[in-house]
Amino acid sequence: MCCADVAGAMVCRMPDTLADLRALVADVRAALEDEALRGVVAEFSDEAPPEAVAVEASPRRATRPAVGGSWAKLADRAREKADTSVPVGAEGLQLIRDELGDCRRCNLCTGRSHIVFGVGDPSADLVIVGEAPGYHEDRRGEPFVGPAGEMLDKMLANVLGLDREEVHILNVVKCKPPENRNPLPDEVGACLPFLHRQIAAIQPKVILVVGTVALKALLDPSGGITRHRGQWGTLDGVPVMSTFHPAYLLRNPEGKRHTFADLKALGKRYDELGGRRTRPSPF
Ligand code: SF4
What domains are there in the chain, each with its CATH number? 84-283 (3.40.470.10)
Q: How far is CA 198 from CA 72, 88, 234, in A?
A: 21, 9, 16
What's the pLDDT at 33? Answer: 63
What string of DSSP letters covers 132-155? ---HHHHHHT-SS-HHHHHHHHHH
Q: How far is CA 53 from CA 6, 124, 135, 255, in A?
A: 20, 35, 21, 14
Those residues with Cβ within 8 angstroms of residue 6's Cβ, 6 or more apart along the chain or in another chain? 27, 28, 31, 32
In terms of pLDDT, which residue wins out, 89 or 62? 89
If you measure from the C-alpha of residue 132 to the centroid of ligand 1, how many angstroms do you get, rounded to a whole number?
Answer: 10
What's the pLDDT at 85? Answer: 86
If you measure from the C-alpha of residue 33 to the centroid of ligand 1, how many angstroms do you get, rounded to a whole number?
Answer: 26
78 lines ligand 1 (CB under 6 A): no
Query: Which residue's alpha carbon is nearest to atom 2 within ligand 1?
Result: 191
190 lines ligand 1 (CB under 6 A): yes
As a whole number, mean pLDDT of residues 267-272 equals 97
- Report the predicted TM-score, pTM, of the whole model to 2 decimal places: 0.82
If you measure from the C-alpha of residue 207 to the centroid of ligand 1, how many angstroms do you get, rounded to a whole number?
Answer: 22
Identity of residue 275: G
For the chain, how far is it from start to end, CA to CA, in angstroms? 54
pLDDT band for position 41 (cuts 50, 70, 90)? low
As a whole number, mean pLDDT of residues 127-144 equals 96
263 lines ligand 1 (CB under 6 A): no
Say if strands 126-130 and 206-210 run parallel, antiparallel, or are unpaired. parallel
What's the pLDDT at 17? Answer: 74
Question: Each residue of 56-74: pLDDT tens digit?
Answer: 334 344 334 444 557 778 7
- Among the listed residues 120, 114, 102, the one whose alpha carbon sits nearest the alpha carbon of residue 138: 114
100 Cα nearest atom in ligand 1: 7
What's the pLDDT at 16? Answer: 67
104 Cα nearest atom in ligand 1: 5
> Which segment of 79-93, 227-241, 246-260 scores lowest on mean pLDDT?
79-93
What's the pLDDT at 88? Answer: 95
What's the pLDDT at 57? Answer: 37
As a whole number, mean pLDDT of residues 244-266 equals 95
187 Cα nearest atom in ligand 1: 4
Q: What is the mean pLDDT of the chain?
A: 84
If you measure from the C-alpha of residue 202 to the centroid of ligand 1, how many angstroms do you get, rounded to a whole number?
Answer: 20
192 lines ligand 1 (CB under 6 A): no
Identity of residue 117: F
pLDDT at 28 over 80: no
Query: Which residue's alpha carbon is nearest to atom 4 within ligand 1?
Result: 106
Residues 207 and 127 sit within 8 Å (Cβ to Cβ): yes
If you measure from the C-alpha of residue 29 to the centroid of ligand 1, how many angstroms do you get, rounded to a whole number?
Answer: 25
The Cβ of residue 16 has, within 10 Å, a number of other Cβ atoms equal to: 8
As a whole number, mean pLDDT of residues 35-61 equals 49
How much helix, strand and coil, in percent to the nearest 5, is found in the chain? 45, 10, 40
What's the pLDDT at 22? Answer: 73
> Which segment of 10-14, 184-188, 223-227, 254-258 scores lowest on mean pLDDT?
10-14
In terms of pLDDT, which residue wins out, 175 or 24? 175
Residues 166 and 281 sit within 8 Å (Cβ to Cβ): no
115 lines ligand 1 (CB under 6 A): yes
If you measure from the C-alpha of residue 125 to the centroid of ligand 1, how many angstroms do you get, rounded to a whole number?
Answer: 26
184 lines ligand 1 (CB under 6 A): no
